Structure 1
Amino acid sequence: MALDEITRDELQSVIAHLKEAVYNHQQWHEALVRTIACKLPSNKSDADTAAHTKCLFGQWYYGYETTKLRKHPGFIAVGDEHQRMHHFARQLLVAADDGKPLDVIDFDKFGNALTRLRLEISALEKELEDSLYNHDSLTGAITRYGILPTLREQHELVKRHVQLCYIAMMDLDNFKAVNDLHGHPAGDRVLTESVQYLIKHLRPYDKVFRYGGEEFLLSMPYPADLTPGCDRKVNDLREGIASLNIDIGEGGPIHVSASFGLTDLDPDTPVETTIDRVDKALYAAKAAGRNCVRIWNPSM
């Protein structure tokens, strides 16, 4: 599940409610320790086998707001650790209610599960905040500040023969004419619809960056033993954008096209050189009449 598919407003809401859920979890933990230490009667819902769904954190986790996160690995990990922690908490509470001494191993299991849960929550919260603050608020693409760190990381994997990585540069054709004829709100709509199409039709680990204006850079890694046929994939994206009916209100819907440059991340050249190559391939696509894909070659 790519966080790119969640809108900025949705991300802000999820982060705010996650922080509230974490506070509620801390309050629950303090109450649990007080119950055990002071030998108080336990909360019946905490001794239930479905306790992980009944606490306030669990109500947030399994609530409607988090529907779009259901398949996200970090979110799944939080749920697994939360359920495991409640399992061990239940064992402690049952022993305490029966007047039995607490088993040190059971107590350590609970403590370890609690630590793992908090680590998973922290990792998820950081990823959500990174997604919120490092993405272009209009299109949902990652800001250009993420390009070099991401490509340098991919470059190291390519040099170690772990994977291949292909880079594409997209430019929306005649975009200035859209703004001139229909206004900037229409241009914003075209940018958003086009980039969201890319995001929805790429894999979760592919990345779309806003390079500048109406230019976007795509990073597409593949296992080293796979021949991906990236030119076909990029051409499919080009055709998909050309087929969009973009509703701009009065005077719409309209159609736009895009030109693409494509190259691979060369292990023997700097990342900056790869960006320059894909930019030249994009220029070649525009020079060839636009609405096409051109692959970089040394003659460009």
Structure 2
Amino acid sequence: MALADVSRDELQAIVAQLKEALNNHQAWYGALVRTLVCSLPGNKHDTSDIAHTECRFGQWFYSDAPEKLRKHPGFIAMGEEHKRLHHLAKLLLLAAAAGNPIDPLAYDGFSNALERLRLEISSLERELENSLFNHDSLTGAITRYDILPTLREQQQLVKRHAHVCYIAMMDLDNFKSINDLHGHPAGDRVLSASIRHLIKNLRPYDKVFRYGGEEFLLCMPYTEMAQGQDRIKELADGIAALEIDIGENTPVHVTASFGLTLLDPDIPVGASIDRADKALFAAKAAGRNCVRIWDATM
């Protein structure tokens, strides 16, 4: 799951569901330990081969968890740990039911599986909460506060010759006229649709930051110049082809201009951003709805 594809309301709902699922499983754990310690009859569901699907956590995980969450690596890992935990719990309950003493190593394995499950749940919860705070609620783009740390990290990788990285500055053309003609709510819809199109069509490790207003910065590691230029052109064409519903009889069309440059390992990150901005200015001067690459004459 690309978290930027998930709305703020969806993220908040998923975090709440995770918290509730964790609380439910904590209650299951307490009841199971009480059964073992007090030599009580075990719940027949806990010795089933599909016990991991029948507890309240399992019911949420396999039936009620949002579809957008299911392909996330953290969600998948959480499911594997949960299934393992129930298998180990089953072995403990069967041993207790047969009147056998609980093997300390078997119980330690069960306890460790529980801690791993808690860690997976907490890690996913933190990731989702960080996404809530670090992404622009309207467009899904990362906030500008993460631009410099991210680009500096990429610059260090470039310096080690791990890869090359390009950045692009993007601005929606004549965006003010949309606000003036149709109102700011319509402008918000145009902005949201355009940037979510970008996010949806970039690679998972590409990043889109909201630089300010209708201006956005793209970070594209592992990209050569020709590939980057072609990719940006495809994105520009995709935005131009959008029919954006603003609640009126006729959908709105918008175009975007892009300025592309290498993230230079030998100059400050801010200087590379300035180069991308100059290339964007050149794209605007060339008539908009196009891509320009920075060169020393700009």
Same fold (TM over 0.5): yes
The reply on whether 1:23 has 2:8 as its aligned counterpart is: no
How far apart in 2 are the matches of 1:113 and 1:46? 16
Cα offset, 1:104, TM superposition: 2.2
Residue aligning to 1:44? 44
Q: Given residue 14 of structure 1, which amino acid in structure 2 is its aligned partner? A: I
Cα offset, 1:199, TM superposition: 0.9
How far apart in 2 are the matches of 1:69 and 1:90? 28
How far apart in 2 are the matches of 1:53 and 1:264? 50
Cα offset, 1:250, TM superposition: 2.0
Pair 1:228–1:295, CA change in 2 (3 A): closer
TM-score (norm 1): 0.95
How far apart in 2 are the matches of 1:95 and 1:227? 64
- SS class of match (2:107): helix
- SS class of match (1:229): helix
Q: Given residue 241 of structure 1, which amino acid in structure 2 is its aligned partner? A: I
How far apart in 1 are the matches of 2:99 and 2:221? 58
Residue aligning to 2:14? 14
Residue aligning to 2:167? 167
How far apart in 1 are the matches of 2:147 and 2:83? 37
Aligned pair partner of 1:257 in 240, 255, 258: 255
Residue aligning to 1:290? 288
Q: Could you say what the CA RMSD is over the residues aligned between the two structures, in angstroms? A: 1.5
How far apart in 2 are the matches of 1:52 and 1:283? 57
Of stretches 19-28 and 249-258 in structure 1, the one that deviates more from structure 2 is: 249-258
8 Å CA contact retained: 1:60, 1:66: no
How far apart in 2 are the matches of 1:112 and 1:149? 35
Cα offset, 1:9, TM superposition: 0.9
How far apart in 2 are the matches of 1:262 and 1:184? 29
Residue aligning to 1:147? 147
Cα offset, 1:227, TM superposition: 7.4
Aligned pair partner of 1:279 in 277, 282, 287: 277
State, as a whole percentage, how many aligned pairs show the same letter.
67
How far apart in 1 are the matches of 2:272 and 2:115? 43
- Which aligned pairs between 1:39-118 and structure 2 lie closer than 5 A? 39-118=39-118
How far apart in 1 are the matches of 2:53 and 2:162? 41
How far apart in 2 are the matches of 1:11 and 1:64? 15
How far apart in 1 are the matches of 2:178 and 2:127? 35
The reply on whether 1:210 has 2:175 as its aligned counterpart is: no
Of stretches 140-149 and 245-254 in structure 1, the one that deviates more from structure 2 is: 245-254
How far apart in 2 are the matches of 1:159 and 1:43? 59
Question: Which blocks of at least 5 consecutive residues in structure 1 are unaligned?
Answer: none
Cα offset, 1:168, TM superposition: 1.1
Residue aligning to 1:158? 158
Cα offset, 1:252, TM superposition: 2.3
Cα offset, 1:261, TM superposition: 0.8
Cα offset, 1:251, TM superposition: 4.8
Q: Given residue 23 of structure 1, which amino acid in structure 2 is its aligned partner? A: N
8 Å CA contact retained: 1:139, 1:195: yes
Cα offset, 1:228, TM superposition: 6.8
How far apart in 2 are the matches of 1:200 and 1:246? 16
How far apart in 2 are the matches of 1:107 and 1:81? 16
Cα offset, 1:49, TM superposition: 1.3
How far apart in 1 are the matches of 2:198 and 2:169? 12
Cα offset, 1:190, TM superposition: 0.5
Q: Given residue 24 of structure 1, which amino acid in structure 2 is its aligned partner? A: N
8 Å CA contact retained: 1:222, 1:228: no
Question: Which blocks of at least 5 consecutive residues in structure 2 are unaligned?
Answer: none
Q: Given residue 254 of structure 1, which amino acid in structure 2 is its aligned partner? A: V
Aligned length: 298
- SS class of match (2:161): coil
- SS class of match (2:289): coil
Residue aligning to 1:235? 233
